[in-house]
Amino acid sequence: MKLSKYNKFVKHNNNDYLLFNSISGSLIKVSNQIKKDIETKNLSEDNFKKLKELGFFKKEEGDERATLRKKYEAKTLNHLNKYMFITVTDRCNLGCHYCFEEKNQWINMSDETVDALIEFSKKFLSATKTDSFGIGWYGGEPTINMKAIKKLSSFYKDFCEKNDIHFSQMIISNGTTFNESVCETLINLGIKKAQITVDGIKEDHDKSRPYLKDLTLDQMSPAQRSQAQKLNPSLSLNVINNEKPKENLITKSCFDEIIKGIEKYVQKGGEVSLRMNVNSKTIEKTTQLLDDLHKRKLFYRNENGGFLYAYAQPIYDIGSCGNNNYESSGCGSCPSKTTTEDPVTVNSMKVSEFAEKVHIIKDWYKSKGIKWFDHSNEMHFTGDTCTANKKYEYVVNPDGTLTKCTHDVGKPEKVIGSVFDDNVNPDDMNIPNTSYDRFNPFDDKECFGCEVLPICMGGCKSNNNAGEAKEYEAGCSTIKYSYEEDIIRLYESSKS
């Protein structure tokens, strides 16, 4: 027997060590002496057997990474669990300066496209055995096209029931449209899970994530002006630059509207994953936001099962810089990030910087006795990867074209097919013309040697530009930079 390559000792206190294995997810606490015995394999038969069962020892022959690779590659071809992001519109009512979407179609998914998607889905779900099917409703702002969501969701629910397929759905929304009627409809359709985003406290959010129609041109950052042009292509930069400031039209706070919408949805039984976009300045203030949400009692599961959970993500600005060398990895990792005037972008973070500061939020959760839920709760190997590398997962664009990543909505060069293509065979359709095909973390020198590979499986394939932009960090999981701390947190949360 030999020790697993994915064992990690972390000193816990003066006398004890934690030993974690990132494949099995096993965590043990041992004395300094036992640590030495493990390292020298000087163990009793019982302890040897115990540690082997927990995954800390492997058979002498063979390379465990070859086994992982085999399982990873099998997962990319797994047809039992299928998934689609359905972009029912690329229209949006907000003008976030860092938005990565091209918004070049600027259409709602039409009735004709909805019908074609239904026919495509029948083939997609029947051509190979399907145990589960998941949908992420996506946009633009998806609630702008509730008509398409209603028709498609009803179809999938009915189809999956008849074919004994476990069906689940969630929505990624900006939350500004969550009025009584929208919340009621979503819940009735079974869309009880939503991701909604705020950019920190009200003051910061309303600056970086505004209703563009409420801003005067002189209030917009250069990036927001660029967004304004997408929202209204007839605007020209010359006109913008020469236009006199208009009267301030701000009538309502985007932040307040979102919080009101969240409260309605949660009260009806909605489960909200609140994404708090942060930069190096605003992350310090997230506890104010968390305190506010806590006072509103949103963290506690109510009588209808609704609750809110908040987590943080660093902002990567990939829309405004124009420096193509760094486009795919985002301004958060761009050495020339100070070239943009936008204060939020200037303060954006690398993943390693984020990993250093995110303890602020973890500590807040600990102080309130609420379980922190991120990768540290699932620190083990599954072999799963994302839509980009999985054969049976697609992103459907508003015009019916198909791409492999939500980052590629509206990018013609990333299209791999269409729901209108009569000849398309969903069983055979793979990703022959996308860069994601080139990236296998087990072929990548850096990923192959990384101690968290069993957990992250190479990270975000878009942000690391299919392995070619990894030096800019944006594709890596934060766990790479907080591994020891996460192991200690796993120990503490398991003991509490």
Partner 1 sequence: MSEKGDIEVVVNGKEIQEKLKNRKTYGTKLVDSGGCPALAAEPPPKEDQPIEKPENLEKTELPESE
With binding defined as CB under 8 A, does residue 490 bind partner 1?
yes
Minimum distance from residue 492 beta carbon to partner 1 (Å): 10
Return the number of the residue (193 or 366) whose C-beta is nearest partner 1. 193
Q: What is the DSSP letter of 247?
A: P
Minimum distance from residue 188 beta carbon to partner 1 (Å): 19
Report how far residue 215's alpha carbon sits from residue 232's, in angstroms, rounded to the nearest whole number: 14
With binding defined as CB under 8 A, does residue 84 bind partner 1?
no
Report how far residue 103's alpha carbon sits from residue 95's, in angstroms, rounded to the nearest whole number: 11
Q: Which stretch binds partner 1 (CB under 8 A): 63-71, 154-162, 326-334, 374-382?
A: 374-382
HSE on the CB side for 231, CA within 13 Å? 19
Of the candidate residues 34, 84, 289, 318, the single one contacting partner 1 (CB under 8 A):
34
Q: Give Cα 303 distance to the centre of its chain.
A: 28
Per CB under 8 A, contacts with partner 1 among 425-464 are 455-461
Of the candidate residues 3, 107, 160, 170, the single one contacting partner 1 (CB under 8 A):
170
Minimum distance from residue 385 beta carbon to partner 1 (Å): 3
Report how far residue 189's alpha carbon sits from residue 169's, in angstroms, rounded to the nearest whole number: 9
Report how far residue 193's alpha carbon sits from residue 272's, in angstroms, rounded to the nearest whole number: 6
Return the number of the residue (221 or 279) whose C-beta is nearest partner 1. 279
Q: Are 383 and 22 in contact (CB under 8 A)?
A: no
Output the CA torsion sign for 174, 475, 85, 307: negative
**Strand (E) or helix (H) holding 106:** none
496, two tokens: 């509490």
Return the number of the residue (417 or 459) whose C-beta is nearest partner 1. 459
Q: Which stretch binds partner 1 (CB under 8 A): 114-122, 198-206, 367-375, 416-424?
A: 367-375
Q: Which stretch binds partner 1 (CB under 8 A): 153-161, 213-221, 320-328, 364-372?
A: 364-372
Q: What is the DSSP letter of 93?
A: S
Of the candidate residues 49, 62, 119, 132, the single one contacting partner 1 (CB under 8 A):
132
With binding defined as CB under 8 A, does residue 88 bind partner 1?
no
Of the candidate residues 8, 71, 134, 157, the single one contacting partner 1 (CB under 8 A):
134
Per CB under 8 A, contacts with partner 1 among 181-210 are 193-195
Q: Which stretch binds partner 1 (CB under 8 A): 44-52, 87-95, 327-335, 425-433?
A: 44-52
Return the number of the residue (99 or 456) whose C-beta is nearest partner 1. 456
Return the number of the residue (56 or 221) whose C-beta is nearest partner 1. 56
Q: Are 400 and 116 in contact (CB under 8 A)?
A: yes
Return the number of the residue (220 or 398) whose C-beta is nearest partner 1. 398
Report how far residue 209's alpha carbon sits from residue 192's, in angstroms, rounded to the nearest whole number: 24
CA distances from 185 to 153, 192, 283 (A): 11, 10, 34
Of the candidate residues 115, 214, 257, 271, the single one contacting partner 1 (CB under 8 A):
271
**Exposed, middle or buried, 319 (CB in 10 Å: 0-12/13-18/19+)?**
buried
